[in-house]
């Protein structure tokens, strides 16, 4: 932020002008600074004593309320190092700017206190012998005039209580590839995954969108579909109390599996995927009874009106478990939209990871299930795994850091914390997200009449299977070319 001086402010002495800048910044960023300790750097050394002065001139006494209401430490930085703010009013030659190296783990604690300042060539007092062109300056050096040329620094931004690191531009492409590659995450999921790694940079969402546009697999299968049905959100307060169930059909695998049973927890969006050879009522009932024996019987189960779900075998199991069975309205699949959406997501992810091995799709189901359960869900901004099990999943990189031993008191505290704080907060977050989605959908969808001569999508009669890439490619080309209704 910056502004020009008013006419009467131009007559201020240097001390008062510098103090005016501080007061203006404190008022401008009050909502970010108030109640939090922060560091203020200035190239005007007398201002470092502003908090300790007792007799202030009457002309600036009315600013003391603003200054003393904030908790900060004022540190003097020489004008030679004050490049970032001075760049707004002073033309630094390009050859004076350099980039520092990547910070090492041994300086991690020091890095969090480092000033977001780019070093410049030509500053000679503490230059190391092996490199007389570059200088790394930490906040301790600036405050105490100490020399430690090996201390690196990075540009950082503060988000809540975590320090977010901005990586180099040369490393961002590899980070996007690593984040997107395994599960072909969407743009929002990629942003959330990078934030979980404490990484960010300007226009991160645009970078993720551009990366997805260049992903061949995503362009083959991510097809926008439009339609209109009034929405009504289905909500659950606690994990495991409400499950949505559906079937996904594939071509027969090498293990003779044809279907995948998709079970979704409505509260957390945790999904279970189980391969099936048939969709007979007894097979479905036995598989669900096995699953309910592992996680506990739910209060409500919702399915469509298919004969594999509406039968005496499943009704007997649900009656035995005292579970309510809700059936969606016939010919309205949106009534079971939660399960339908996870069926679609599972198929899309399977297409991307199979790489042509369509006969082995059942072998990839556990990996697909894990990928779906460990990505951040937009509904509640958390991973389904962490909410369903009450703990973060142990990845290969951080497994040793997970505390594996809990006392009975720790377990009681965790259960009380989850029940009384986490799940009610997640419930409110989910309701707000669902209301936002419903309102957005209703604003953009209207009942439309198609006049004679309109261009529409035609059904591809040559498709051989739901995992066949040519199905999506054909639909994509048909969507662009369309077919004329005569």
Each residue's pLDDT tens digit in the chain (486 positions)?
Answer: 888 899 998 998 888 888 899 999 999 999 899 888 999 988 888 888 877 777 777 777 778 888 888 898 888 888 767 777 777 666 655 655 554 444 444 444 433 333 333 333 333 333 334 433 333 333 444 334 333 333 333 344 444 455 788 899 899 999 999 998 778 888 999 998 998 888 999 999 999 999 988 887 787 776 655 555 566 677 777 888 899 999 999 999 999 999 999 999 988 889 999 999 999 999 999 999 999 999 889 999 999 888 889 899 899 999 999 999 999 877 777 778 888 989 999 999 998 888 888 899 999 999 999 999 988 887 777 888 888 887 777 665 555 555 556 667 666 666 676 677 677 777 777 777 777 777 777 777 666 666 777 666 555 666 666 665 444 444 444 444 443 333
The terminus-to-terminus CA distance of the chain in angstroms comes to 60
Q: Which residues contact 16 (CB under 8 A, 6 or more apart)?
A: 59, 60
For residues 327 and 305, is the Cβ–Cβ distance under 8 A? yes
Phi, psi values for residue 12, rounded to 5°: -65, 145
Q: Which long-range contacts (CB under 8 A, 24 or more apart) does 213-217 make?
A: 215/180, 215/184, 217/184, 217/351, 217/352
Structure tokens at 367: 């990996």
Q: Between the CA atoms of 366, 372, 376 and 378, what dihedral angle is there, to the nearest 10 degrees?
A: -160
CA distances from 372 to 46, 222, 361, 399, 409 (A): 57, 17, 16, 20, 32
**242-428 CATH choice from 3.30.160.40, 3.30.420.10, 3.20.20.70, 3.20.20.80:** 3.30.420.10
3-state secondary structure of 263: strand
Residue 448: what pLDDT? 65
Structure tokens at 338: 């939660």
Q: Which of 76, 17, 90, 68 is nearest to 44 (CA)?
A: 76
- The CATH class for the domain spanning 167-221 reads mainly alpha
Q: b/e per residue, 337-366, with b = 16+ CB within 10 A?
A: bbbbbbbebbbbbbbbbbeeebeebbebbe
Residue 369: what pLDDT? 92
Q: What is the pTM of this model?
A: 0.46
Q: Which of 366, 357, 356, 373 is nearest to 470 (CA)?
A: 356
Phi, psi values for residue 373, rounded to 5°: -85, -15
Structure tokens at 197: 């790694």
For the chain, the structural domain boundaries read: 9-76, 167-221, 242-428, 455-484
Residue 324: what pLDDT? 92
User: Tokens 């309910």 belong to which residue?
Assistant: 292
CA distances from 245 to 233, 239, 296, 403 (A): 16, 15, 16, 34
Structure tokens at 405: 């031993």
CA distances from 131 to 126, 134, 149 (A): 11, 6, 10
């Amino acid at each position: 932020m910056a502004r020009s001086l008013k006419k009467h402010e131009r007559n201020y002495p240097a001390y008062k002008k510098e103090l005016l800048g501080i007061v203006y910044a404190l008022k401008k960023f009050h909502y970010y600074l108030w109640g939090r300790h922060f560091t203020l750097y200035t190239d005007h050394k007398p201002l470092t004593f502003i908090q300790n002065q007792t007799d202030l001139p009457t002309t600036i006494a009315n600013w003391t309320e603003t200054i003393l209401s904030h908790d900060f430490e004022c540190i003097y930085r020489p004008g030679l190092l004050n490049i970032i703010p001075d760049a707004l009013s002073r033309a630094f030659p390009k050859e004076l700017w350099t980039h520092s190296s990547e910070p090492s783990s041994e300086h991690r604690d020091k890095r969090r206190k480092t000033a977001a300042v780019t070093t410049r060539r030509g500053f000679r007092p503490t230059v190391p012998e092996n490199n007389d062109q570059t200088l790394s300056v930490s906040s301790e050096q600036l405050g105490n005039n100490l020399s430690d040329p090996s201390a690196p620094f990075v540009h950082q931004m503060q988000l809540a209580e975590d320090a977010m690191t901005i990586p180099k531009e040369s490393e961002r492409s590899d980070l996007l590839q690593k984040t997107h590659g395994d599960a072909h995450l969407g743009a929002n999921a990629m942003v959330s995954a990078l934030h979980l790694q404490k990484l960010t940079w300007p226009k991160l969402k645009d970078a993720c969108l551009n990366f997805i546009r260049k992903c061949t697999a995503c362009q083959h299968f991510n097809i926008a579909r439009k339609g209109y049905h009034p929405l009504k959100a289905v909500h659950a307060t606690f994990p495991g109390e409400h499950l949505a169930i559906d079937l996904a059909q594939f071509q027969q695998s090498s293990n003779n599996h044809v279907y995948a049973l998709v079970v979704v927890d409505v509260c957390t969006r945790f999904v279970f995927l189980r391969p099936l050879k048939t969709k007979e009522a007894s097979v479905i009932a036995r598989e669900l009874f096995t699953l309910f024996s592992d996680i506990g019987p739910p209060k409500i189960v919702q399915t469509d009106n298919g004969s594999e779900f509406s039968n005496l075998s499943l009704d007997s199991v649900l009656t035995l478990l005292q579970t309510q069975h809700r059936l969606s309205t016939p010919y309205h699949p949106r009534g079971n939209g939660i399960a339908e959406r996870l069926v679609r997501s599972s198929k899309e992810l399977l297409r991307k990871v199979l790489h042509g091995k369509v006969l082995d799709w059942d072998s990839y189901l556990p990996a697909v299930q894990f990928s779906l359960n460990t990505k951040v869900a937009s509904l509640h901004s958390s991973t389904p795994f962490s909410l369903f099990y009450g703990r973060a999943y142990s990845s290969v990189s951080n497994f040793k850091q997970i505390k594996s031993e809990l006392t009975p008191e720790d377990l009681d505290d965790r259960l009380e914390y989850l029940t009384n704080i986490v799940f009610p907060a997640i419930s409110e977050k989910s309701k707000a997200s669902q209301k936002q989605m419903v309102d957005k959908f209703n604003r953009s969808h209207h009942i439309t009449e198609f006049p004679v001569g309109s261009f529409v999508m035609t059904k591809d009669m040559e498709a051989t299977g739901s995992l066949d890439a040519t199905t999506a490619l054909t639909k994509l080309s048909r969507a662009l070319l369309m077919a004329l209704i005569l």
